Structure 1
């Protein structure tokens, strides 16, 4: 528990052998429940998750905890990043967690930064908070120029699609959401692929939720990205366009479409082509 709030953490993992165990081991002591989701990995990820979860749970029992802190879930088929997020969100809702933090199983998200996200959605006036590695050159650290360019471009398109004009680093998966916002979020409708973060933002905007960026440095190791850019770019472009249209219909039904609509549509079509 953190400042009177129960904390759930969703750890999403796919082929993260050699990384996810440390993520489990370094979860802060104030975390009430962690949901570690193996999305049908093809390596030793599941075995590593179970071994480390058992070790942590045994340690917590020795400290007087009567319930396991770490819950392990394995998908029998690969459901994508969004599928893992939805599984974790459902479990956290069932357990009534006040705040749900999401981290990836690759070890890129520093657990020492977690309080900043939690405080943003408990005492900071936000409903949803996310990391931002693009504030300064120092924060970008060892982020490659190509990755920085891609994140910056997607940030611009996501702002237009979701209506959050100050949100930066839209693909940052280190997030926190409070229970009120999560209960209102249509979890089952969320996108199953890598675009789930953009989809969450669009749905939060339609619901009038406040989103906060939390500054944090980029951290990279020897892990490999699982994104297949040949399918990721066109699929995400279409998702952003769909969410733009959806948001316009829901929030601007009584007005003419924003002039940016045509420009956005043409940009997406050009990008897909």
Structure 2
């Protein structure tokens, strides 16, 4: 228990036999329950998780059930406020590989059902310093935020630690996620070191989170729609011999579609409110103007091939594009002001 709050930590793992044991061993002692989710690894990750779980059973002699999990009595004990200070590792294994988002989804559902006040996430690859966990928990405990996430771009030294390719990709995703989610002050959206309150966890329909690495972008959109406060917590990155499991050929198009879908869902929600949101109206105006400009451009292109295009046609297209740009900039400015209180940096 941490400052009067029960804490659950999800450790999603896929083929992390070299790191998962150390990660589980270094999770702070104030954590009440660790959900070690093996996403159908093909190495010894599951074996190591089971061994760590067995070693952590200091609070009870109750054996693991047939699914490799503790029985209902111990699962209910910590959420009731008892047995404080004894970390329990709950081993969970997927029957089929579900991806990074699927592993987090499983842990979130268990943490919500167990009544954990706060559920944090720590990757099993050893990139995250468990000693930083209190910095993620404090804003939620102090009722400053409902969801906190690490930010490796918070200072120049941390940015230097990130490989250039990751740094550029992270910067680009940051800009796109700001537009989609409405959290304009946040950076490093793919950071998997996070914490979420029970209230926020119950408000975002975690069962429908995406399966793969685009889940944090989608989750941020859901949090904004639910009017939750999100805080960036600056912290250093830790890189060793781990390898990224992201398949960029799939990740880029899938994440782009996820962000677009999330943005449209957020706009629809804002337009469906009792009052029309000025930012949503401006975004729609920009989209309409852009659609008109693209349609005109196609027509002019056809005319150019026939030698029938005029300067007036080209001027009209330029004017429509300029109008769309102005509308988008106005929308972004209004959106940033509207969401200023829901995005915080620590």
TM-score of the superposed pair, with normalisation by structure 2? 0.72
Contact 1:241 1:264 in 2 (8 A): no
* Bigger helix share: 2
Of the candidates 238, 241, 257, which is equivalent to residue 222 of structure 1? 241
Distance 1:17 1:257 in 2: 50
Contact 1:11 1:104 in 2 (8 A): yes
Distance 1:15 1:227 in 2: 13
> Could you say if the C-alpha distance between residues 260 and 200 of structure 1 is closer, same or farther in structure 2, counting changes exceeding 3 Å?
farther
Deviations 1:211-269 (A, max 9, x none): 00001001011011111001110000010000010100001343525166579999xxx
Which stretch shows the higher mean deviation, 47-56 or 74-83? 47-56
**Which residue of the partner structure matches residue 75 of structure 1?**
94
Higher RCO (CA < 8 A, seq sep 6+): 1
Structure 1 unaligned blocks of 5 or more: 267-273
Give the match's secondary structure for 2:148. strand
Distance 2:289 2:174 in 1: 16
Pair 1:135 & 2:137 matched: no
RMSD of the TM alignment (CA)? 2.3
Contact 1:36 1:70 in 2 (8 A): yes
State the Cα distance separating 1:54 from its structure 2 match. 1.6
Contact 1:161 1:244 in 2 (8 A): yes
Contact 1:24 1:53 in 2 (8 A): no
Q: Count residues with an aligned counterpart.
A: 264
**Which residue of the partner structure matches residue 166 of structure 2?**
147
State the Cα distance separating 1:142 from its structure 2 match. 2.3
Distance 1:244 1:51 in 2: 43
Of the candidates 192, 198, 201, which is equivalent to residue 220 of structure 2? 201
**Which residue of the partner structure matches residue 2 of structure 1?**
2
Distance 2:257 2:288 in 1: 14
Deviations 1:158-207 (A, max 9, x none): 00011110110000010000111111121111111111001110000001
Deviations 1:86-137 (A, max 9, x none): 1101111111100000111101110110001001111051000000000122
Which has the greater radius of gyration?
Answer: 2
Distance 1:241 1:54 in 2: 44
> Could you say if the C-alpha distance between residues 52 and 260 of structure 1 is closer, same or farther in structure 2, counting changes exceeding 3 Å?
farther
TM-score of the superposed pair, with normalisation by structure 1? 0.91
Pair 1:102 & 2:121 matched: yes
Structure 2 unaligned blocks of 5 or more: 62-81, 295-346
Contact 2:151 2:233 in 1 (8 A): yes
Distance 1:222 1:137 in 2: 23
